[in-house]
Amino acid sequence: MNQKGITNRTIKIPNYIIISFLTIFAIGPQYFINLSYTMNQEIVQNGLHLSSKDLLLPSTLSNLAFALGVPLGPLLTRKLGLRKNYLYLVVIFLCGSIINAISQDLIILIIGRSIQGLSAGVLFLTMLPVSLKSFPNKIRNTFLFMVITGLFGATALGAFFGSFSLSVDAWRWLYILNIVSAVLCFIVGFFGLPKTEEHELDQAPVDKTGIFLYTLILVVLSFPLCNLMDKGFSSLYVWPFFVVAFLLLILFLSIDMKAESPLIPFRTLKAAKPISGTVMAIASHVLLILAIAGINGFLRHNKDLPFHYLLHFYIWFFIGIVVTAILKTLFYGMLGAGKMGIIGSLAVIYVTLQWRVMGPEVTLPTLYFQIALLGAGVSMVLVGGALGTAFAGNLHHASLRSLTLHSTRNFIGAIITPMVGWFLSTQNELQYGNIQEYLGENGPEAKSEIAQLTHRLMESGLPLSKAQSMASYELIANTKKAAILGAYHHLFTIMLVFACIMLVASIGKMVTGKGIGLVKKEPKVQVTSVKETTV
């Protein structure tokens, strides 16, 4: 069966190619800009004259806005139709990108990033289900290649271009790339997406209470998450808001479970198959957040890598993602989410075990191999868990299970990200204090080390006073590096815990069965004639 394009009768582009383009270039830029912002915060800070703590606010609020948008995607698509909803949201994302590109202060940057996050979040579940359905049955496994290389690849490219922006000392051009992608999406979507007839729109009632409570929870959470790094959990600006958010969450869940058409249908996960897949996806998502934060800090603060080596590093991350995309496309139908999740989890466990004890002496080829393995393993588990959840039962409820999974995953991810920054900061201070205390208790050893450093520097030609000053400075610098390395080791230990959770969930997924495959088995037709049939 030939699939005709929907844009032009003379250019027969298959529907799934067009939909895949609209999906990747609408959602991918959000992942791209998130990672690039993480990498190039120094030049943003210098360009807008911000403090290091101010830099966390745009990304924190953007992630919360994305989490808010995810469950709204299917709702708005049903009410407005795919084409209208998509074009509206692309224009909104375009506006956010323009605001970011011309922003001159923190407030404007926060507004732009939040607009981008909200619109991309709504687009996420607006396009992913449509993209899956657009692939012909026989090649539906190639949807996995599109999702993994497109969305995970956008993350890798964001880290790559963010590193590159450090070498050119400029960051606004990254938002210009966002503008270009949004314009392309609008043009292709305008001509390529079919119009939805009025009678096709869903007239079911909207869960207004659920929308209000979910929005309120995220608004309340924004206060403690934005103040956590500066003030800590014990502050009145932090813990009371977490308590209020938790109480609101309990109220939201109790109402959601009873609602006829809930915003996030949690009751669709009441079975072992979808729960194991959900745990796989959420644990791997959290682990990826921990990994990016930890390895970026290690490379910058302990390895002291020049910028161009960071580019090489994230090229290997992307290579690992592409390998998983190929393996998933070829073997997902045969092995299923559980077995492939076990393979991916074991790869991640190996990497975390190595990272828990690594020091600055680790070689670059080793790091390249490990980041490729991490990218391959995390993407294998996350995508497998997401698909395993969606297809773990009645196909009529697949979109509802997917909605619940991705809403929960992004909600937790938005909370975890600022907590990782707070954890590294507090662990660094704690480790530095412990080292200083040790040096104080072992004064003779510290003095002996300073004396050795002074002697070595004097042999290189420095006078005594300058050699002593340099030796003291070097000891302090080494102490700070040792402190932050200890913080990263603790973070990698937490990664190991989540890697083990991924493994257990993958085993549970394997035990409960593969579920429904992406490619439907077509009934065999008995051949009664030897004549050729053209399709």
Q: pLDDT tens for residues 346-385?
A: 999 999 999 999 999 999 999 999 999 999 999 999 999 9
DSSP SS3 for 397: helix
Say what the pLDDT of residue 206 is.
Answer: 87
pLDDT at 457: 67
Instruction: Give the C-alpha separation, 328 to 60, whole Å.
Output: 32
pLDDT at 8: 46
The answer, yes or no, to whether residue 37 has pLDDT greater than 60, is: yes
Band (138; pLDDT cuts 50, 70, 90)? confident
Q: CA 164, 165, 170: angle at the middle one, nearest 5?
A: 155
- CA 445 from centre of chain: 45
Which value, to the nearest 10 degrees, does the dihedral of the CA atoms of residues 153, 186, 37, 279 take?
-50
Burial 381-405 (b: 16+ CB within 10 A, else e): bbbbbbbbbbbbbeeebbbbbbbbb
What DSSP designation does 525 have? -
Pairwise CA distance, residues 459 & 450, whole Å: 14
pLDDT one-digit tens code per residue, 188-220: 999 999 887 665 677 778 899 999 999 999 999
The average confidence (pLDDT) of the chain is 87
More confident residue, 53 or 413: 413
The lowest-confidence range among 10-14, 33-37, 99-103, 233-237 is: 10-14
pLDDT at 531 over 60: no
For 465, the 3-state DSSP assignment is helix
Q: What is the mean pLDDT of residues 261-274?
A: 90
526 confidence band (pLDDT: 50, 70, 90): low
Q: Which two tokens mark 114?
A: 């939040």
231 touches 238 (CB < 8 A): yes
- On the CB side of 250, CA atoms within 13 Å amount to 5
Lowest mean pLDDT among 144-153, 465-474, 484-493: 465-474
Helix axes 398-441, 464-511, angle to 10 degrees: 150
Distance CA 411, CA 148 (A): 21
State residue 454 phi and psi, 5-degree precision.
Answer: -65, -45
The residue-averaged pLDDT of 2-13 equals 52
Lowest mean pLDDT among 24-38, 375-389, 446-460, 476-490: 446-460
* Higher-scoring residue by pLDDT: 397, 63: 63
Q: What pLDDT does residue 2 have?
A: 46
The DSSP call for residue 458 is H
CA 94 to CA 81: how far, in whole Å? 20
Percentage of the residues of the chain whose pLDDT score is greater than 90: 59
At residue 172, what is the residue type? R
Rounded to the nearest 10°, the torsion over CA 275, 281, 285, 290 is: 70
Residue 84 carries which side chain, given as an amino acid letter? K
Q: Is the pLDDT of residue 533 over 50?
A: no
**What's the pLDDT band for 251 if we cut at 50, 70, 90?**
very high
**Among residues of the chain, what percentage have pLDDT more than 70?**
87
Cβ count near 321 (within 10 Å) = 23
Burial per residue of 178-204, b for 16 or more beta-carbon CB atoms within 10 angstroms, e otherwise: bbebbeebbebbeebbeebeeeeeeee
Question: pLDDT tens digits for 448-463?
Answer: 666 776 767 677 777 7
Q: Which residues contact 385 (CB under 8 A, 6 or more apart)?
A: 276, 277, 278, 279, 280, 281, 282, 284, 337, 341, 405, 505, 506, 509
In the predicted model, what is the mean pLDDT of residues 432-460? 66
Query: 135: which DSSP letter?
Result: S
- Cα–Cα distance for residue pair 308/401, rounded to 1 Å: 42
d(CA 102, CA 96): 10
Tell me: pLDDT of 3 over 50. no
Q: Dig out the tokens for 359 from the structure.
A: 């020091």
- Per-residue model confidence (pLDDT) at position 286: 97
Dist CA 438 CA 285 (whole Å) = 37
Report residue 7's pLDDT band, with 50, 70 and 90 as the boundaries: very low
Q: Residue 461: which residues within 8 A CB-CB, separation 6 or more?
A: none
Say which residue, 270 or 496, is predicted with more confidence: 496
pLDDT band at 473; cut points 50, 70, 90: low
DSSP class of residue 70 equals T
Above 60 in pLDDT, residue 70? yes
For residue 367, what is the enclosing H or E element?
A: helix 364-390
Are residues 280 and 384 in contact, defined by beta-carbon separation less than 8 angstroms? yes
pLDDT, residue 6, reads 44
- Inter-residue contact 130 to 18 (CB < 8 Å): no
- Nearest 5 degrees, angle CA 354-CA 373-CA 64? 95
Q: Which residue has the higher pLDDT, 6 or 471?
A: 471
Query: What's residue 126's pLDDT?
Result: 94
pLDDT for 243 equals: 97
